[in-house]
């Protein structure tokens, strides 16, 4: 059995009926996105079990956060950029960011891991990468559900201020503060 077949077998038992998009991505697109280098998917599993059981997963990718000109004040743009609101005389409207593309728990193992714990694993992995690559903005999209919005706000995410259509996913961002940004201690 190839590695891809083994992976497919493991993810085939992931169930997330609360959000079928999360389940569908893992089962139908995660491996392809991994091969193409579009994203990386990480599994959270119980190391104490004899069998490999996926408790949750999250997917990370590089994304450009696009802010339409005039949508945010110069001060808010400067906070996103970290240095300035303008570049070569023009308002900055695009910011490199880390996208939490998917984040979900396996309903086959209820009560084994909380949403907060999954997000903690996810943010730890982001900060590991930030040591080597830099970056200061983390973004995600979520349904306008009080539980989800409250969960992400607890971790410092804020809803991006804009007009949302009915049913449109909310964009939430977290700007890493200076004390959260990890400096590499490695010598070159």
- Residue by residue, pLDDT tens for the chain (188 residues) are 787 888 888 899 899 999 999 999 999 999 999 999 999 999 999 877 777 889 999 999 999 999 888 787 778 887 887 777 788 877 888 889 999 999 999 999 999 999 999 999 999 999 999 888 888 999 999 999 999 999 999 999 999 987 888 889 999 999 988 777 665 455 44
Task: For residue 175, report the phi and psi dihedrals to the nearest 5 degrees.
Answer: -100, 120
Q: What pLDDT score was predicted for residue 182?
A: 60
pTM of the model: 0.88
CATH class of 42-175: alpha beta
> CB-based contacts of 47: which residues, under 8 Å, 6+ apart?
none
Pairing status of strand 94-105 against strand 137-142: parallel
């Amino acid at each position: 059995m190839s590695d891809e077949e083994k992976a497919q077998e493991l993810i085939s038992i992931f169930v997330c009926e609360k959000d079928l998009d999360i389940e569908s991505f893992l089962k139908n697109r995660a491996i392809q996105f991994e091969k193409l280098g579009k994203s990386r998917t990480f599994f959270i599993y119980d190391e104490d079990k004899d069998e490999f059981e996926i408790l949750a997963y999250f997917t990370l990718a590089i994304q450009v956060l696009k802010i339409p000109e005039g949508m945010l004040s110069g001060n808010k743009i400067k906070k996103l950029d970290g240095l300035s609101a303008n570049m070569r005389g023009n308002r900055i409207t695009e910011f490199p960011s880390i996208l939490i593309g998917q984040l979900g728990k396996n309903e086959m193992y209820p009560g084994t891991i909380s949403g907060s714990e999954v997000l903690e694993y996810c943010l730890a992995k982001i900060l590991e990468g930030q040591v080597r690559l830099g970056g200061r903005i983390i973004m995600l999209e979520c349904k306008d559900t009080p539980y989800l919005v409250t969960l992400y706000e607890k971790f410092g995410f804020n809803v991006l201020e804009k007009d949302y259509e009915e049913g449109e996913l909310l964009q939430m961002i977290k700007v890493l503060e200076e004390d959260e940004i990890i400096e590499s201690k490695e010598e070159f």
